[in-house]
Every structure is written in structure tokens, then in C-alpha cells.
Amino acid sequence: MTMQDEFDSKVTVEGFTVQDGSRRAATLNLTEAGIRPADGDGPLIPWTGVVLKKDDADGAVLVTGKGLVLGSTDPLFLRVLEGAAGNDLDRQLAKLQGLATGWARGQTIGCFVFFGLIVWGLISMPGCYRNAVDSAVDKLPYEKADKPLGEAAQESIEVGPEIEDEEVTAAIQAMVDRLAPHFEGTDLDPSIVEWKVRIVESDVPNAFALPGGYITVFDQLIRDADSADMVAGVIGHEMAHVLQRHGLKRIANKIGLYAGMMVIFGQSSGIVGIAGELGGVVTERWYDRSHESEADIFGTKAMVKAGLDPDALGRFFTLLGNKYPESQLPPGLQFLSTHPGHDTRTSMIMDMVKDLDVPDPRPLDIDWADIKSRVSVDAGTGIAETPDDDSDPDGRDE
């Protein structure tokens, strides 16, 4: 199965067409407009004219419309249909999912009432859906939702080779350990999260976090930072995403009502399956404007309380913004390419710091020059850029 981010073009699924009662293997293309065979053998079936059925013999999902019958036995076909069709097939998908897994059986009457309110809100006021799903996610048990989702996504994301340098890993872990106790008012209690750090080789200055406390730092981020506090600012931002459960909320809202109900009713097994398909999206554009701004706020406040330089993140945004103009941003430059822009975020962070009671600084006990040297080309890791003529010939920042 091949998927495009947020269904902006098409999704390709291996399936079949049904002709004269017999199945013929075919590749199916799904777009926001409808579904059709990839070879063009047949008209586009618009979602508004689709009838869904289930073949009890093998569990295949059949799509009927425009005189055609298409189908697939792919276990994620229902999810793909829901993602491409939006709200057009919600009722039919919910019915088929109930037949396939019985996910609603055994739930309390209160859960069914809640489900009904969600559907009513989606129909009468679209904004109600996101608020309801976010509220439901906040009530899910951490151990049954965030941790398995993060673990599955961590395993599915393709990144560069992991850097097996204990000193580099320990430096990033020291930032996490310093910041963790200083988050206040987050959706998750920081004490229940077991943070896991890895550093990977990449020429992109990036970092991301997954539900469950999985933090990945690209070594170019370390090479670009002038100080440990700059990287700590990024780490605090990513930790805030985890503690505010932004990843889980993002998935629950973006995949639609059908899979969103899996989250609402605590069906973490379904979400774990979805995480394998969506894992790659995290390195592209995972969070929306409100999530990024919220993470900036919580992360900066934690920096202040931890005795670290609260202006460091803003200065790092400026540094990276100058080095990587918006029109030339690398595809994975997540924390700059997502909303809001780095100029807006820098101003917001620095304005917020002015209003905070900043304690005496307690610098991290990290030899930053040594850490940067360990991820330089001379150290045998990373993919550093060719230095300018007037730069240090070994590519290190001293």
C-alpha cells in the first residue's frame, strides 16, 4: 500500500475488480474524489455514489458504484477508504467495522451516548468533532494508548543510522532529565513518561517526538547549535508535544471518525496498526499551528524553571532561519516548516520570556565543543556540509 500525506494526491491499494462474478487482481487508486482501477479500466466511482459491502467468505471489502465492483482484502482498506472519502462513508464504514471486529460490543450505554453526540456534532457543527476527540484522548490511559502507539511508530519510521556514542546520547539525556520535572499544567503528568532518546545521522537539522516519550534528534541539529541550551530548547519543545498528547490527537483527528472512534473507545490495537502506516508523516508535518505554539509555550516555561537560557530557542530559530531560508527549507525541517513561521515564533518566545520570573541560571554540565566534535565528519558520523573557505577546516564549531 502506498500512501500520500493527508491524501493530497492519491492512495494506491492492491485489490481486485469483479467481472462476471470473478475477481481479477488490480491496483486501485483512491483520491478525495473517488476510487477507480489504476489502469484506467473503468470510470471514477465518486464517494457519494458508493455502496460498501463485506464478503463474508474472506472478509474482503467491496466497493460498488457506476456499474463496477472493486474490492480489497487488505486489513487497512477500511482505514484508507475513510481517510480518502472523508465524511461521505462514515455510517457505512462504522457498520462494516462493527461487523468485522465488534469493537463497540461490551461498551457502556454512556459510551454509545457519547458516540451519538460525536456524530451529531460532526453533522451539525464540524468544529465539535475535533474538540470531542481531543477531550476523549485526554481521558485515555497512557499505558494503553500513548505507549503502544509511540512504540509502533518508532519502529516504522525510516531514519539514518543511529549514532552509538554514549557521550552524545548522555548529553541529550541530561537535557531531558533537567527539563522533565519542570513541566507544569500539561495533559500528562511528566513523572509517568519514560523518555527514550536516540541520535541519528542526517544532514537535516531536525528533531521529533512520538507518543510515549520517544525522542529522535538528527545530528545536524547538534552541529548547527551554538550551545547546549539551543538544543535543550528544541528538546523541551518536543517533550511538550508528548506531554500535551499532540501526536495522539493529531492521528485521531486526521484519520477521521471511523478510526477516531477506535481512540475514543480505547481500541489502542487499531491505533497501533495505523501508526505503522502514518509513522513517516511525523518527519514531514505532524503538528498544526496551535500544537506548535502550545509546545513553544510549555517548552520555554520549562526552560526557565530548569535554570536554562529561555532565549536560546528563539535565537536558534533565528540562526536556522538565516541558514535555511523558508523557500529552501529541507523537507524534514519540521519545527520551521510547520506553522507558525520561525519569525513569528521567535518574537512570541522572546516576548513571553520578558514576562516570566527568570531564576538564576544553572548551566548544563556539558562540554558542547566536545559533543559537536563527536558528530563531525572527522569523528566518522554525520553528513556535514562543505565548510566555507573562512571556516575551520575540520568543520567544527568551536
Indicate if the pLDDT at residue 72 is higher than 50. yes
Give 36's DSSP letter. Answer: E
Q: Which residues pair with 214 in a beta bridge?
A: 196, 210
Task: Say if residue 393 is preceded by a cis peptide, omega within 30 of 0.
Answer: no
Q: In terms of pTM, does the model score above 0.85?
A: no
Comparing 358 with 205, the larger pLDDT belongs to 205
pLDDT for 248 equals 78
The amino acid occupying position 387 is P
**Rounded to whole angstroms, how far apart are CA atoms 214 and 148?**
11
Which residues does 309 contact at the CB level (< 8 Å), separation at least 6?
A: 227, 229, 233, 303, 361
Confidence category of residue 233, pLDDT binned at 50, 70, 90: very high
CATH number belonging to the domain at 5-86, selected among 2.40.50.40, 2.30.29.30, 3.40.50.300, 3.40.50.720: 2.30.29.30
**Rounded to whole angstroms, how far apart are CA atoms 17 and 25?**
7
Q: Other CB atoms closer than 10 Å to residue 375's CB: what's the count?
A: 25
Closest CA to 96 of 241, 258, 206, 257: 258
**Rounded to whole angstroms, how far apart are CA atoms 107 and 212?**
26
**Max avg pLDDT among 86-100, 198-212, 216-230, 372-386:** 216-230
Q: Which residues pair with 35 in a beta bridge?
A: 30, 45
Indicate if the pLDDT at residue 118 is higher than 70. no
Comparing 40 with 240, the larger pLDDT belongs to 240
What 230-233 contacts at long range (C-beta under 8 Å, 24+ apart), as own/partner pairs, is: 230/312, 230/313, 230/315, 230/316, 230/319, 231/172, 231/175, 231/316, 232/175, 232/178, 232/179, 232/303, 232/308, 232/312, 232/364, 233/299, 233/300, 233/303, 233/308, 233/309, 233/312, 233/313, 233/314, 233/316
**Rounded to whole angstroms, how far apart are CA atoms 180 and 393?**
38
**Rounded to whole angstroms, how far apart are CA atoms 374 and 137?**
40
pLDDT for 110 equals 45
* Lowest mean per-residue pLDDT among 2-16, 50-64, 295-309: 2-16
The end-to-end CA distance of the chain, in Å, is 47
Across the chain, what does the average pLDDT equal?
A: 75
Provide mean pLDDT across the span 77-89.
72
Indicate if the pLDDT at residue 99 is higher than 60. no
CA dihedral 69, 74, 75, 81 (to 10 degrees): -50
Domain residue spans of the chain:
5-86, 152-379
Residue 332 parent element (H or E): none
Provide mean pLDDT across the span 141-154.
82
Confidence category of residue 62, pLDDT binned at 50, 70, 90: very high
Q: Is the dihedral of CA 117, 120, 121, 126 positive or negative?
A: positive
pLDDT for 20 equals 86
Q: How far is CA 68 from the centre of its chain?
A: 36
* Lowest mean per-residue pLDDT among 1-5, 47-51, 332-336, 347-351: 1-5
Indicate if the pLDDT at residue 163 is higher than 90. yes
Indicate if the pLDDT at residue 261 is higher than 60. no
Percent pLDDT > 90 in the chain is 29
Percent pLDDT > 70 in the chain is 64
Per DSSP, the residues of 142-188 read GGGTHHHHHHHHHHH----PBP--HHHHHHHHHHHHHHGGG--S-SS
Give 224's DSSP letter. Answer: H
Over the stretch 174-192, which tens digit does the pLDDT of each residue have?
A: 999 999 999 999 999 999 9
**Rounded to whole angstroms, how far apart are CA atoms 342 and 333?**
11
Q: Which set of grid coordinates corresponds to residue 160?
A: 539514518
Provide mean pLDDT across the span 121-128.
48
Q: Which set of grid coordinates corresponds to residue 224?
A: 548547527
Task: Annotate 245-277 with b (16+ C-beta within 10 A) or e (fewer).
Answer: bbbbbbbbbbbbbbbbbbbbbbbbebbbbbbeb
Q: Other CB atoms closer than 10 Å to residue 100's CB: what's the count?
A: 13
Q: Which set of grid coordinates corresponds to residue 11?
A: 492512495
Q: Which residues pair with 65 in a beta bridge?
A: 68
